[in-house]
Amino acid sequence: MGFKNAGALWLLGLIVLLLFARRQTPAARLHVATLHLWQSMAPSRPAAAFRSLRRDPIAICLQAAFLVATVGALAHPFVTPRPSPVAIVIDLSSSMNARHSGVSRLDQARAQIRALIDGLPRRTRVQLIGAHTNPALLGEFPAGAPAVRALLDSLRAWDTPDDMAGAMALARNDRPAGIHVFSDHQRPAAAGTDVVWSTVGERGPNVAITAISAPDPAVAGTDRAVVIGIRNYGPAPVRHRMSIDLDGASLVTVPLTIQPGALQTVPVLVGSRAGIVTARLDMQDDLPSDDIRRIALAPARPIRIRIQSASRHLRAALAALSATIIEDTPQRPGDSPPHIVVCDGCPRVPADESAVLFAPVPPSERGDLLRLLHTGVRHPIGELVPFADAIVAAAGSRGEAPGDTVLARAGGQPAILASTSAGRRVVELRFDLSRSPLALDPAFPVIIWNAVQWLADDGSADENVRAGEPLRWTGPAGTPRGVGPGGEPVATTVRGGRTVIADTRAAGVYRLRIDGAEHRLVVNPAVDGESDLASAPVAGPTPSASLPPRDSDHDVTAWFVFAALALLALESLVRRGAFRRLPVRHAVR
Amino acid sequence: MLIPEEVRLLDELALGGFAPSDEALSAGVRRSRGRHAGHEFYEYRPYEAGDDLRRIDWTIEARLRQLVVRVARPETGARLHVLIDGSGSMAAGLPGKLACSLRIAAALCWVAAHRRDATAISVFSGSSIRHLGSVHGRQQAFRLLETLASTEAGGRSDIDHALSTYARTAQGRGLVVVISDFFDAQCRLDGVRALLGRGLTPALVQVVMRDEIDPTIAGLTELRDIENDSAAPLWVDETMVRAYRARVAGHTEWLRTFGLANGVPWVQIEAAVPFRGLLAALERTGLFLPYA
Give the C-alpha distances (Å, rounded to integers) separating B149 from B54, B87, B103, B209: 43, 16, 9, 20
Predicted pLDDT at B236: 84
pLDDT digits (tens, 9 = 90+) for B207-251: 999 989 999 888 888 888 888 888 888 888 888 888 899 999 999
Q: Which of A35, A577, A581 sits opposite B234 (nearest CB)?
A: A35
Q: Compute how many other C-beta atoms are within 10 angstroms of the C-beta atom of residue A155.
A: 17
Amino acid identity, position A305 = I
Rounded Cα–Cα distance for residues A466 and A531 (Å)? 14
Other residues' Cβ atoms within 10 Å of the Cβ of residue A266: 18
Rg (alpha carbons) of chain B, rounded to whole number: 21
| Cross-chain residue pair A36–B185, CB shorter than 8 Å | yes
Q: What is the pLDDT of residue B199?
A: 87
pLDDT of residue A81: 67
Please give the residue that has the higher pLDDT: either A297 or B27: A297
- Partner residue opposite B220 with nearest CB, options A24, A33, A587: A24
Q: Higher confidence at residue B144 or residue A540?
A: B144
Q: Name A176's Cβ contacts closer than 8 Å, sequence gap at least 6.
A: A84, A85, A86, A87, A127
Which one-letter amino acid corresponds to residue A120? L
Contact residues, chain A, for B236 at CB < 8 Å: 38, 48, 51
Torsion angle of C-alpha atoms B62, B63, B66, B67, degrees rounded to 10? -50
CA distance A112 to A116: 6
Beta-carbon contacts of A562 under 8 Å, excluding residues fewer than 6 positions away, are: none
ipTM of the complex: 0.78
Whether residues A40 and B247 touch (CB distance < 8 A) is answered with yes
Residues of A within 8 A of B248 (CB-CB) are 34, 37
- CA separation for the pair B144, B258 (Å, rounded): 32
Q: Does A59 touch chain B (CB under 8 A)?
A: no
Tell me whether the omega of the peptide bond preceding residue B95 falls within 30 degrees of 0, making it cis. Answer: yes
pLDDT averages per 10-residue partition of chain A, 589 residues: 84 78 69 86 49 61 89 87 81 90 90 90 87 90 88 92 89 85 87 85 89 72 82 89 92 91 89 88 88 86 85 87 80 78 88 86 82 87 81 82 89 90 85 87 88 76 76 78 92 82 92 86 89 68 50 82 92 67 33
Q: How far apart are CA A462 and CA A460, in angstroms?
A: 7
Nearest residue on chain B to A29, judged by CA atoms? B222
Helix (H, G, I), strand (E, B) or coil at A518: strand
pLDDT digits (tens, 9 = 90+) for A497-549: 678 898 899 999 999 988 888 888 999 999 888 888 876 555 555 554 344 55
Give the number of beta-carbon pairs within 8 Å between A and B. Answer: 100
- Point out which residues pair with A278 in neighbouring strands: A245, A294
Residues with Cβ within 8 Å of B277's Cβ and at least 6 positions away in sequence, in order, are none
Predicted local confidence at residue A564, as pLDDT: 92
Q: Out of B89, B224, B231, whose CB is closest to A29?
A: B224
Q: Testing the interface with A: which of B98, B220, B238 to mutate, by most A Cβ within 10 A?
A: B220
pLDDT at A130: 93
Give the tens place of pLDDT for each residue, B181-199. Answer: 999 988 999 999 999 998 8
Residue B165, phi-psi category: left (phi > 0), alpha (psi -120 to 50), beta (remainder): alpha
Please report the pLDDT score of residue A191 as a whole number.
Answer: 79
Distance, in angstroms, between A47 CA and closest chain B CA?
Answer: 10
Element (H, E) at B83: strand B79-85
Chain A residue numbers with beta carbons less than 8 Å from the beta carbon of B246 are 584, 587-588
Question: How far is the C-alpha of A393 from the C-alpha of A316, rounded, in Å?
Answer: 19
Q: Where is average pLDDT lowest: A334-338, A499-503, B34-38, B116-120?
A: B34-38
